[in-house]
Amino acid sequence: MAALRVGVIGASGYSGAVATRLLAAHPFARLVGCTSDKLAGRLVGRELGCRLPSLEGLEFQPNADAHRVAAESDAVLLATSAEVSAKLAPELVGHGKVVIDLSGAFRLGDPAAYPAWYGFEHPAPSLLPAHYGLPELFGAPPAGTKLVANPGCYPTASLLPLAPLLREGLIEPAGLVIDAKSGVTGAGRQAKEEYSFGEVDEDLRAYKVLSHQHSPEITAILSRFRPSKLTFTAHLLPIRRGLLATAYARPTAQATPERLRACLADAYAGKPFVEVVTPHEVTVKSVAGTNLARVAVTANDDVVIAIGVIDNLLKGAAGQAVQNLNLAFGFPETAGLDALHRLAA
């Protein structure tokens, strides 16, 4: 079987670089090209510190060559800004490519939401919403899917612990609170004083309070199970990789700690990338470097606490994109992802 030909657009950001590296090691895919204005002309393997034979001689191409890279590809990963993705994805889909978009450009269903949350008028409303690529909740993209919206990092860490509980009627769909904390790579490479080491180190802060663009995404996806109302808050952690979400909900009458745990255990039985554990095992270091999510739930009479943790660059971005690619093309779900491991080990 000929390898699937894949390209990466925007390969010098944190997520794009990780996606490039994963594809270079993928057993069934062949990386045909990747673009980055910043690194154009430089050797990919050298920049990634990676000796894979598949990278030998491969150079970053300028972003202007995105269509040329796509032309040689069966599938394209977009690690571009939402505004760039919103324009580029329809073109590539139009040329028959399967597109997995890591931005928020196709995650929301309502085009009218884009000016407020993303700051631009959506150029391709007919594509909204694209298939939402959270495989543990929504499975493989349906046959013929041309565009996958890869979930946001905060939504991934939040939905995995919450959605099964909501689906099973164990938590109330209103009054949900999600308090999330992310490492700085979630914000991409930055040349701003506020992201300088001197400012971030030994600090913590909430940001975009009541105005984070992942809030409508989480609400919309949860509401597919039951119409939901929630509050979402993001915090910036002085770590490089990792994202932990602590969620609070009111239990329904049938919720007991045992049923809650059983619900998550059942939901993720046989899922290779979700581990159901106890709350104190939901640690950034247990998943950083992997495509794993860890989730846990506990409760008393008044509250259900559900916690999720992921590596924001892997299960929260590039790793999940490869997982979606695998499912879209019928590869084993873990292909190209099974050798990942904890950085801490």
Residue 79 CB neighbour total at 10 angstroms = 31
Residues 255-284, mask of contacts with its own copies (x by CB under 8 A): -----------------xx-x---xx-xxx
Site membership for its own copies, residue 193 (CB under 8 A) = yes
**Residue located via tokens 């979630």:** 186
Nearer to its own copies, 106 or 331 (CB): 331
Nearer to its own copies, 92 or 153 (CB): 153
Q: Which two tokens stand for residue 105?
A: 């450009």
Q: Side chain identity at 62, as an amino acid letter?
A: P
Residues 2-21, mask of contacts with its own copies (x by CB under 8 A): ------------x--xx--x
Q: CA 191, 197, 200 angle in degrees (round to 5)?
A: 100
The catalytic position among 34, 50, 153, 263 is 153
Around 58, how many Cα atoms within 13 Å sit in the side-chain half-sphere?
Answer: 26
Q: In what order do the strands lie in the sheet with 4-9?
A: 29-35, 4-9, 75-78, 98-101, 147-149, 131-132
Site for its own copies in 164-183 (CB under 8 A): 175, 177, 179, 181, 183
| Residue 153 annotated in active site | yes
Instruction: Give the separation between CA 292 and CA 242, rounded to whole angstroms.
Output: 11
Segment interacting with its own copies, rule: CB under 8 A, options 41-49, 82-90, 108-116, 321-329? 41-49
Among 67, 235, 261, 271, binds its own copies (CB under 8 A): 235
Q: Which two tokens stand for residue 51?
A: 């000796």
Site for its own copies in 305-344 (CB under 8 A): 305, 307, 309, 334, 337-344
Burial class (CB in 10 A: 0-12, 13-18, 19+), 223: middle
Site membership for its own copies, residue 345 (CB under 8 A) = yes
3-state secondary structure of 168: coil
Site membership for its own copies, residue 197 (CB under 8 A) = yes
Site for its own copies in 66-95 (CB under 8 A): none
Q: Which residue numbers are catalytic? A: 153
